[in-house]
Amino acid sequence: MSLSVDTCVVVDVLREIRPGARDRFLDLVAAGVELNLCVFAFHELAYGAMVSHRPVQQLSRLEELLRFVTVREWAKADAIAAAEIRVARRSKGRPAGVVDTLIAGQALARGWAVLTADVGDFEHIDGLTVIDWSS
């Protein structure tokens, strides 16, 4: 199984917002689940670390977690899929966040499910499998 890990999941693991988040994450790793991070999600995480009160420590913690996740570069097929999502959502009057659309497009193009606690950001995207991290 291959998953695209949403930014909120990584933040949850780093901050342990939900009890046992780090253990749950490591259970996925131990089970051999391929964990992928869209380069734009990585950008969000790096920015968040850099503007924190402890940027050096936060960047170090992020790098430690990335031992288990592969940051995936953006490709033309990812861009096309994301554009199709954006058009479809716009036609339904349901605009989506830019980074969420990019994450969803890459996941669709590559056949990955999206692991997120923000299920609403990814709902109503035809063909996209969304796994609720918060449950």
**Closest to 88 measured CA to CA, from 124, 115, 122:** 124
What pTM was estimated for this model as a whole? 0.93
DSSP 128: -
Q: Taking the CA of residue 63 as centre, how many other CA atoms within 13 Å lie in the half-sphere pointing to its CB?
A: 7
What b/e sequence results for 28-49 when a residue is b if at least 16 CB atoms lie within 10 Å of its CB, and e otherwise? beeeebebbbbebbbebbeebb
pLDDT category, 16, cuts 50, 70, 90? confident
The pLDDT tens digits for 87-121 are 998 888 887 789 999 999 999 999 999 999 999 98
User: Rounded to an integer, what distance in angstroms lies between the CA atom of residue 35 and that of residue 92?
Assistant: 31
For residue 83, the model assigns a pLDDT of: 96
pLDDT, greater one: 135 or 30: 30
What are the CA-CA distances from residue 94 to residues 66, 88, 99, 128 (Å)? 32, 9, 15, 16
Cβ 131 vs Cβ 3: under 8 Å: yes
pLDDT of 111: 97
Across 59-74, average pLDDT: 95
Q: Which domains does the chain have, with CATH numbers?
A: 2-129 (3.40.50.1010)
Question: How many other β-carbons are positioned within 10 Å of the β-carbon of residue 26?
Answer: 12
